[in-house]
Structure 1
Amino acid sequence: MRFRKWLPKYDRLASQFAAQHFGGWDGVLRLFTYMDRPKLTWDGDEEFPLDVYFVRKMANEYHGLERHAHQYYVTEQYEYAYHHWLMTASWRNENMRISNFTDDRHKAAIELDLRCAFYNEALHDWHWNRFSVRKTLPQAYHFGLRTEILQRKDIKANREIEEAVRKAIARNG
């Protein structure tokens, strides 16, 4: 697989989107905190690491952004989906850089996020600007996305939305 070159404009746009939706990257950290108590056991008198949550939390932010992105997608809020996919790609790219991950699996995850971002951007543009260069509705395969993967994610996103609605109704009852 030939990977897309990471462009600095992706980070700039992602930072703008983070400011718009969360007040900045700190807002992302506050929203997607890792709340579960770790069930780590330590032999003997070893000291706990400085932050015992770090290992289990590392990917929580970009997975949360990814869930939100797909929920926006299934509810046809393509512009917000585009924003969240690009933030996800940027967060993954930064995590990969900091952690010195160079494997194709991590690169492929970033590539998937970028493809989803550009697909949602095209959907948004097509819906709002029918006189654009693109005459027909963009299709997932135009962006190298496999429909069956998106359909599985659609089902999951719809379930998450339905569960959140059920909880809200029960709370406000």
Structure 2
Amino acid sequence: MLIKEHFGDPGVLTRQFPYMKSTFPGKSDDFILTAETLTNPNNKYHGLERLALQHHQAGSWQLAGEYWLIAAGWRRNTMDASNERHVESLQFVLCHVEYNRALADWKKKKLGRNAMPYPEQFGLSDD
């Protein structure tokens, strides 16, 4: 639903990322990475996570939260649930969803600086 709302369809979403374009230098035969590697579905959600982070840094927290949520869904559908690192990555993305939602709510309610949510409250830190 969020992909359709923000991008129309998944193809429009993935075409935003340079490594998904046919003109990307890594898609030539003399490059170490193969086109198959670059078009891996994981690259799509990694690109979406970078886009979410850009919106987060710009203060577009509601949009960032929705992009994080799309990325979480994409991760969940493509990950190996028995791999602990995949599960941790999904949990990390979901922490970003909750953090950005809290920031958007804080901004919407025009609460004071003392009520501002901090990353540590959501299991996120700069470490």
Structure 2 length-normalised TM:
0.80
Tell me which residue corresponds to 2:123.
144
Tell me which residue corresponds to 1:105.
85
Report the AA paired with residue 72 of structure 2: A
Tell me which residue corresponds to 1:26.
11
Q: Distance in 2 between matches of 1:26 and 1:107?
A: 26
Once the two structures are superposed, what CA deviation does each residue of 1:78-100 show, in whole Å capped at 9, x if it has no partner? Answer: 0111011111111111111xxx4
Tell me which residue corresponds to 2:69.
86
SS of residue matched to 1:31: coil
Provide structure 2 residue ranges, at least 5 long, that are not aligned to the other structure. Answer: none
Among all aligned residue pairs of Structure 1 and Structure 2, give the percentage whose two residues are the same amino acid.
29
Tell me which residue corresponds to 1:62.
45
CA separation of 1:76 and 1:92: change in aligned 2, threshold 3 A = same
Is 1:121 paired with 2:101? yes
Mapping of 1:42-61 within 5 angstroms? 53-58=35-40, 59-61=42-44
RMSD (Å) for aligned C-alpha atoms: 2.2
Q: Distance in 1 between matches of 2:100 and 2:85?
A: 23
Once the two structures are superposed, what CA deviation does each residue of 1:114-155 show, in whole Å capped at 9, x if it has no partner? Answer: 000110011001110247xxx711111111111x15xxxxxx
Larger Rg: 1
Question: How many angstroms does 1:39 deviate by?
Answer: 4.4
SS of residue matched to 2:27: coil
Once the two structures are superposed, what CA deviation does each residue of 1:37-91 show, in whole Å capped at 9, x if it has no partner? Answer: 15479xxxxxxxxxx6233321221111111111111111101110111111111
Tell me which residue corresponds to 1:48.
none
Q: Distance in 2 between matches of 1:136 and 1:17?
A: 29
Larger RCO, structures 1/2 (Cα 8 Å, 6+ apart): 1
SS of residue matched to 2:15: helix
Q: Distance in 2 between matches of 1:57 and 1:109?
A: 20
Structure 1 length-normalised TM:
0.60
